[in-house]
Structure 1
Amino acid sequence: MIKRIYISILLAALGCMIFAQSPRYRIEGTVIDRDTREPLEFVNVLVMGVGVGAATDADGHFIIGEVPPGIYSLQASMLGYKTIVTAEYRVNHRTPHIWIEMEKEGAQLSEVTITASPFQRVAESPVSLRVIGMQEIEKAPGANRDISRVVQNYPGVAFSPVGYRNDLIVRGGGPSENRFFLDGIEIPNINHFSTQGASGGPVGLIDADLIRNVKFYSGAFPANRGNALSSVLDFRLRDGDMEHNSVKATLGASEVSLTSNGHWGDKTSYVVSVRQSYLQMLFKLLGLPFLPAYTDASFKLKTRFDAHNELTVLGLGGIDRMRLNLDINGEDAEYLLSYLPKIEQETYTVGGVYRHYAGPHVQSVTLSHSYLNNRNLKYRDNDESSEDNLMLRLRSVEQETRFRLENTSRWNVWKLNAGVELSYLQYTNTTYQQVFTDAAHLYDYRTDLGIFRWGVYASMDYTAPDERFTASLGVRADANNYSDKMKKLDRQLSPRLSVSWRLAEGLFLSGHTGLYYQLPQYTALGFKDEYGRYANRHLNYTSVSQTSAGLTWHPNETVEVSAEGFYKLYKDMPLSVADGIPLSCKGNDYGVIGNEALVSDAEGRSYGVEVMFKWLLVQRLNLSSSLTVFKSEFRKNNQDTYVPSAWDNRFIFNVSGTYNFPKQWSVGMKVCCIGGSPYTPYDVEKSSLVTAWNAQGKAYYDYSRYNTGRLPAFGQLDVRVDKMFYWKKCMFGIYLDIQNITASKLRQPDVLMSTGEIENPSASLAEQRYVMKSIKQESGTLLPTIGITFEY
């Protein structure tokens, strides 16, 4: 099937090459008043970086002709209204109709000129916010159009050189501390084969062809985005085209996808995507011990009933299957195959957002449902011939229905946002698991847990008429009926304050402070002990107080330089009773975290400085560089001493850029370096015990020496080359993306493995030990991939 699609794409592209020439295109759109929803006449609309534009007519309509193909933003300006810069759009034979909403000036200004900038600033989050546009998503070197990897170019975001995973590690926080929203609808995760209780996986779940842009918050989270401690990714999907219907096919690094974009009638637009992976073929070619395969689908429907009412319905789902590659040999494979389970997952989110525009007031109602069915199965030595070899059988389902009612009002320089949230969670679990702590334990239980959650929030923003000063004051409170203390809203009261002051033209001093809360993982809330009792009823919400301050300098419209310091202080972190490690230090491997006995005793802190330089030249250069120097630590209780967390890399450095050459060629390069991760030596005595090894199939760490070792620093170079062909009726593109072109290797501690041979067979079962061996470990693979896109 993949071969047929591949050949069809090439034949269609060849036909376009033979029978068509490279034309220029036109952009059509409409400009309206954001409050009244009425069209605006005499608005000047310019294509940024090109120098061509047009003015709107009496219907607010504009047409800009003779625009060269590429990815552009538009600038709209008019006397009495704020000048704005739109999101990025691709200009080709299927350029969508562009809707632009303009906001009236808060007051008439006589001697002040405010210039729009592509670098977005928001009163609620003047620090720690980055907006990722279409060009970065499409052409970021080494990312293969996967948003989790694109985000790794930004300050404070670590990447893992070990394994093929997309775990988001932001400002020293764990992969379970992030939240994701799709056009205002919360989704549990954005990766296939996600670790239940965390957020990572080997490949992204969202097709890049559907993404318009992404707001990435590494702090200063808006009040209406709750339950996050480290980051929020707020995705904005593209609207369907109300003028044309089109089909786009993409053959990427790990999958083939088909995307359709268009309209039904004169009120409803749609965009839909289906992807099928061939990642298992790539992993088998690389000789990896696990072979993942996935299918996903996503859609967005938008109906504009009239100028004041609209409904958006969207859905996202995936089917994942990961089997073990038992046909390969070698000690590396032996180690991974000894503990990796088979994984089967189905996940989806469907939801709708209804918006009513009533002058300066906008009401929205959001209803959604998320579902995750996760199944893990592991037999000792992968021998399924006998049930005596069963180590793990997990069947877990998470379902959550969410409702949000929100109002946003604007009066001149003021903005008020307020809302309420309600949700119902149903968590079911059937677990059979062998565990060894100080002795062998068997957990064999069933969970059927229902939890009601509720929350309220409000924020008030002020923006001075000349935009010299902004301030935002917000508050949020969350609760649920899991336990008596979690029912009290005042225990999870979450205030926050942001301010920003323009010291000079283009120079801003900004700061933020806030307190945030997160509910422990559902896997932890539903865990039962050996006696069938809920073992974690005593847990609290985890809290983190965040403070950040920074300087941002825009010497012109194309350059941004920023420096920001941050400090995060964690309280009531869930701590494992078995090993004395916080859950936040786990979650970067396959399987499940949180399904163990926990106490809310741990504390943590993370602090550092981020510096970033960004240079944007439309249709020429997109260059960014960032350096983060930080520390991430935790302690078991407030009487203990701090030790490095699992994410204490100390520094992260990135330089990433794409340069566009004539005739639609572009070349991108990325250099990334990260400090060495701390590691924990093995407990050889415990690991060699037959009962201990047979329980989990891998060695145990000596947590009394937790993170006393440190790996060397690691760096790699990624390169990407793109070539695009634009014609009158179609578009064709091809790219070569080479990750780790220098084949850099990270030396890791030797892995402790059982030989399967018992050194004292005459001893009692509790005292028998395996003969152990060490396996040399290193990671880092040169990975070239070719991608092809075709749109008709």
Structure 2
Amino acid sequence: MKHIFIVLIFLILLLFSPLLGQAQALTQTVRGTIIDSDSKLPLITATVLVVGSSPLVGTITDLNGNFRLTTIPTGRITLKLSYLGYESKTIPDIVVNSGKEVVLNLNMQESTLKLAEIVVRANQTKGQALNEMALISARSISPEETSRYAGGFNDPSLIMSNFAGVANNPNGNNDIIVRGNSPKYVQWRLEGVQITNPNHFADQGAIGGGLSTLNNNILATSDFYTGAFAPEYGDVLSGVYDVKLRAGNNEKREAVLGVGILGTDLTVEGPFKKGYGGSYLVNYRYSTISLLTDLGLTGVKGTPKFQDAAFKVVLPTKKAGAFSLFGLGGSSSALLKEVKPEVAETPGDRSMLAGIREDLEKGSNLLNLGLTHTLPLGTNSYIHTTLSYSQEGIKDQVFESRIETQYDRSGGFLKDSVLSTHPNYQSHLLKSAYRGGFTYHNKLNARNNIQIGTQYSLTEYDYRQSQLQGDGANRVYMLDFQKNIGTVRNYISWKHRFNEAVTMVTGLHNMNVLLNHQSTLEPRFSLNWQLNPTNSFQVGYGKHSTMESAHTYFAQVPAADGQLSEPNKDLGLLKAHHFVLGYEKRFSSSLVAKAEVYYQSLYQLPVENRATSSFATINEGPDFNYVALVNKGTGKNYGIELTLEKNFSHNFYYLINGSLYSSTYKTLEGRARNTPYNGHYLINLLAGKEFVKLGKNKNQVLGLNAKVFFSGGKNIIPLLRDAAGNLTVDPAKNKFWDYDKAYDVSLGDLSKLVLSVSYKWNKPRTTHELFLNMDNLTNNQGKVTEYYDPSKPGSVGHTTQRGLVPNLMYRLYF
């Protein structure tokens, strides 16, 4: 850690050296396209004004819906859009830098009144979902917010925990825990296409990891959904993160170079040729911390290594519609020596046995490739087609060493001698998915819009997982299969606007699993009532279903006679009813309060087919438990979420939100238990301030951002204890855990303080930015779980929150 701070100080001194320069008025071009939100056709002669400019700066769109504003001063601006017969719209908090053009893709909603330009007061779009079919439990997150909010680490997954009802894993992983649901039931999408877990160092039972392969250099504004999903979303219970990649600049070549403690990346973009609307965007990143370690600058051993890349290519045509190619890939590896539970969780409880040492070799890779095509059919309809390929691989090995401790004559410790080393646990999991689908969109009129879609998915699994049985040399295979699973999903969605105040979205989603002929029909409904310009109500309902992880279906479970079988092949889908009621109050154009009350009734949950067992697959983490299952479990998640948000204006913002909730489940034992994720409450306090026009040339901006987080702790399966609280574990019989008290308690509440500082200075053709993020500034290490360790006081060790982690990042836009 001392070496990391030396590197931090050196880079700060180095990077602040170019702050002097000649005084010059710095400007940039702001341009973009405005389309109809339903038909996706360009709006011609729409008016675009820069709010507060004097003299007034504005323009109108051309025949292709394009607009251009030149010589816009650097800083932040707000745009107002207006068009005859459409609701006016305000786009706030647009950052203008000298080193990069601002290219916007905007949309407007046609008015149902059909009279004139309709002005809806306080109609700012900050935080509003881009998907017009999502009326409740949905919000957008912009790249600028991803970069600004404290604690984001340039990671979209971590950013989501700033919002009500969403948490990350306290151990430092970027799992997304939504309303008490398991993070493995979150669905990731890229450009509207379902993808693999987009994180490095992934585990088989999770949808998170140590670090995202995505970073905000390549992101556009994206949507996140927490319940009662729109009809198009299926095979999901918890949340949907629909990530969008921005299109590259189609007129000018630009680049962004980022150098940081975690990773160094380069982004390049530009047009293919002058006068053609196509563009490319490419990003590559390599783990800087591994380079520093190789140079001996960090003092860290076993440092993880990773690299990732992403691209998007936009190819418009005159008559054949618009094509888009995109991709995201990455690989990661790590070798952790002498692993204890406080460092990483390994399968089984072998690391807690005396005389045993474990080394973990971990590797993962992912690849997502996609092609989308949008073809207009007349003036009010179009077809959107997608083809994609995804691959995810996990290769883990645990090397077990038998240790003999040597002592001197007085009983003092001398050294540990390794008697033997052999591979124990081995896992090689490879999943490949081929997906194709199309959606037909038809804007019938200003009041009615329909979508009809279908998607076929074929997933190939090649899974092998084994470990040695007990202390012997007999290797047992828990997973050993090569299987294909096909699914077909269909949906129809109808959006109806009764008038300017009341909008309804309803529809059906159909899920079909070809493996075991499971099928569902899932109704969806949501309604938004704009009571007046400052008050609105929302209500939503959805029935949802999802498959369990593939390893559950094909797990080899020993029967009473010792023979292995696959008893879970016919498991049904997990299902849930989502009910949501919301209210929104706008106090001003930048200050809004929101409240949502939700109830989720989960049923057909896979639980162990044993009357005294507490095991349900919804609690599964990095470890695994392969047993015979039945779809007879139930669960309840309910709570209330409150948010007060001041959008960025007058150089500051704040976000205050809290959630009170409950998350429980039942197995065949009939007892309501907490899930591991039932922390009961979440509180986030975020605030930030920018100090502008600093320096002799008034071209510098200092940003300060902070976050304070409070939550209940993670519920655990405790160690065995007697009535007096004394340990009663029996390592010789491999008995450590008190399953009768599973998830009854946590080890205490958790809290964290995060501080980030940014400094930006604009030059005539470049922009420099420096970010310093201090995660867990107070180094608070609240207890998360416990484990048996005779070397610890009371023979109990604890995993804790991740301590203080500094991250320095420098970016150059040119």
Q: TM-score range by the shorter chain?
A: 0.7 to 0.9
Q: Secondary structure at the match of 1:381?
A: strand
Residue 74 of structure 1 and its aligned partner are, at CA, apart by: 3.2
Q: Secondary structure at the match of 2:146?
A: helix
- For structure 1, which segment, 201-210 or 18-27, has the greater mean C-alpha deviation from structure 2 after superposition? 18-27
2:88 pairs with 1:83? yes
8 A Cα contact 1:157 1:169, kept in partner: yes
**Could you say if the C-alpha distance between residues 617 and 58 of structure 1 is closer, same or farther in structure 2, counting changes exceeding 3 Å?**
same
Of residues 605, 608, 617, the one that matches 1:573 is: 605
Secondary structure in structure 2 of the residue aligned to 1:524: helix
After superposition, the C-alpha distances for 1:606-633 in whole angstroms (9 at most, x for unaligned) are: 1110000111133612321110000111
For 1:338 and 1:569, locate their aligned partners in 2 and report how far apart those are by CA, in whole Å.
44
Distance 2:10 2:257 in 1: 12
TM-score (ref. length: structure 1): 0.87
Q: Distance in 2 between matches of 1:749 and 1:452?
A: 38
1:339-488 correspondence runs (5 A): 341-358=360-377, 359-381=379-401, 389-411=422-444, 412-434=446-468, 442-443=476-477, 446-466=480-500, 468-484=501-517, 486=518
Return the alpha-carbon distance in structure 2 between the equivalents of residues 686 and 742 of structure 1.
35
CA separation of 1:176 and 1:779: change in aligned 2, threshold 3 A = closer
* 1:534-564 per-position Cα deviation (integer Å, ceiling 9, x unaligned): 3311311000111010111112221110111
More displaced 10-residue stretch of structure 1: 294-303 or 567-576: 567-576
Summarize deviations over 1:72-106 as a string: whole Å, max 9, x none: 56331122223234597542232144444444333
Alignment-derived partner of residue 287 in structure 2: 277
Query: Is the 1:711–1:747 contact (alpha carbons within 8 Å) kept by the matching residues of 2?
Result: yes
Distance 1:504 1:146, change over 3 A: same
Q: Residue 209 of structure 1 aligns to a residue in which SS?
A: coil
1: CA distance between counterparts of 2:535 and 2:659? Answer: 21
Measure, in 1, the Cα distance between the counterparts of 2:419 and 2:450. Answer: 63
Q: Which residue of 1 aligns with 2:161?
A: 152
Deviation at 1:747, TM superposition (A): 3.5
- Please say if 1:564 is aligned against 2:596: yes
- Is 1:170–2:196 an aligned residue pair? no
- Partner residue, 1:24: 27
1:38 and 1:125 mapped to 2: Cα distance?
20
1:471/1:498 contact within 8 Å kept: yes
Check conservation: 1:40, 1:56, Cα contact below 8 A. no
Q: Which amino acid aligns with 1:204?
A: S
SS at match of 1:26: strand
For 2:272, the equivalent position in structure 1 comes to: 264
Residue identity opposite 1:117 in structure 2 = Q
- Please give the per-residue CA displacement for 1:47-93, whole angstroms capped at 9, x wherever unaligned: 35767531216545533244232455633112222323459754223
1:611 is matched with: 642
The aligned counterpart of 1:746 is 782
Q: Cα deviations across residues 663-711 of structure 1 (Å, max 9, x unaligned)?
A: 311111111100123222214799634463xxxxxx7421111122222
Residue 68 in 1 paired to residue 73 in 2? Answer: yes
Structure 2: how far apart are the matches of 1:37 and 1:143?
32
- Equivalent of 2:768 in 732, 735, 746: 732
The answer to whether the 8 Å contact 2:546/2:574 transfers is yes
Counterpart position of 2:557: 529
Deviation sequence 1:270-314 (CA, Å, 0-9, x none): 111101113457899888786321110000001111277101110
| Cα deviation, residue 268, structure 1 | 2.1
- CA change 1:18–1:630 in 2 (3 A) is same
State the 1:457 CA deviation: 0.6
> For 1:622-667, what per-residue CA distance to the aligned partner results, in whole angstroms no more than 9, with x for missing partners?
3211100001111103x61211110110000001122111131111
- Asked whether the 8 Å contact 1:607–1:631 carries over to 2, the reply is yes
Query: What is residue 717 of structure 1 aligned with on the other side?
Result: 753
TM-score, length basis structure 2: 0.85
- Tell me what 1:228 maps to: 236
SS in 2 for 1:670: strand
The structural deviation recorded for 1:38 is: 6.9
Kept after mapping to 2: 8 A contact 1:406/1:419: yes
Deviates more, 1:291-300 or 1:279-288: 279-288
| 1:318 aligned onto 2:354 | no
Q: Spell out the pairing of 1:177-188 with structure 2 (5 A cutoff).
A: 177-188=185-196
Listed as ranges, the gaps of 5+ residues in structure 1 are 693-698, 757-770
**Does the C-alpha gap of structure 1 residues 421 and 18 become closer, same or farther in structure 2, counting only changes over 3 Å?**
same
Structure 1 residues 285 and 48: CA distance shift in structure 2, 3 A: farther
User: Contact 1:443–1:529 at 8 Å: present in 2 too?
Assistant: no
Q: Report which stretch shifted further, 540-549 or 126-135.
A: 126-135
Residue 253 of structure 1: how far off its partner (Å): 4.2
Range 646-655 or range 126-135, more displaced: 126-135
One-letter amino acid of the counterpart of residue 23, structure 1: L
Change (3 A) 1:381 1:74: farther
Q: Is the 8 A contact 1:500 1:510 kept in 2?
A: yes
> Do the aligned partners of residues 87 and 662 (structure 1) sit closer, same or farther apart at CA in structure 2, a change above 3 Å counting?
closer
Residues 508-538 of structure 1: CA deviation (Å, up to 9, x unaligned): 1111111100011112123223545433113
Alpha-carbon separation, structure 1, partners of 2:104 and 2:167? 36
CA distance in 1, matches of 2:790, 2:14: 54
Offset at 1:378?
0.8
User: Helix, strand or coil: the match of 1:344?
Assistant: strand
CA distance in 1, matches of 2:341, 2:113: 72
1:14 to partner: Cα distance: 5.6
Q: 336-345 or 715-724, which moves further after superposition?
A: 336-345
- Please, which of 727, 751, 773 is the counterpart of residue 795 of structure 2? 773
Which residue of structure 1 aligns with residue 578 of structure 2? 546
Q: 1:34 to 1:208 in 2, by over 3 A?
A: closer
Separation in 1, partners of 2:181, 2:530 = 31
**Is 1:623–2:654 an aligned residue pair?**
yes
Shift of 1:172: 0.5
**Structure 2 letter corresponding to 1:348:** L
CA gap of 1:218–1:100, structure 2 versus 1, over 3 A, is closer
Residues 395/780 of structure 1: CA separation in 2 closer, same or farther (3 Å cut): closer
Provide the rounded CA distance (Å) in 2 between the counterparts of 1:419 and 1:87.
33
- Name the SS of the counterpart of 2:789 in structure 1: strand
Within 5 Å, which residues of 2 pair with 1:578-727?
Answer: 580-587=614-621, 589=622, 593=624, 597-618=628-649, 620-637=651-668, 640-663=670-693, 664-683=701-720, 688-690=730-732, 692=734, 700-727=736-763
Shift of 1:169: 0.7
Structure 1 stretch displaced more, 656-665 or 110-119: 110-119
Query: Which stretches in structure 2 are left out of the alignment for 5+ residues?
Result: 345-350, 404-416, 694-700, 722-726
The answer on whether the counterparts of 1:245 and 1:260 sit within 8 Å (CA) in structure 2 is yes
Report the secondary structure of 2:159's partner residue. Answer: helix
- Describe the SS at the equivalent of 2:197: coil
Give the direction of change, closer, same or farther, for the CA distance of 1:396–1:532 in structure 2 (3 Å limit).
Answer: farther
Change (3 A) 1:325 1:380: closer
CA-atom RMSD in angstroms: 3.6
Q: Which residue of structure 2 lines up, in the alignment, with residue 107 of structure 1?
A: 113
**Partner residue in 2 for 1:767:** none
Q: Give me the whole-angstrom Cα distance separating, in 2, the residues matched to 1:736 and 1:572.
A: 47
Letter in 1 for 2:667: K
Distance 1:471 1:36 in 2: 18
Number of positions where the alignment pairs a residue of Structure 1 with one of Structure 2: 757
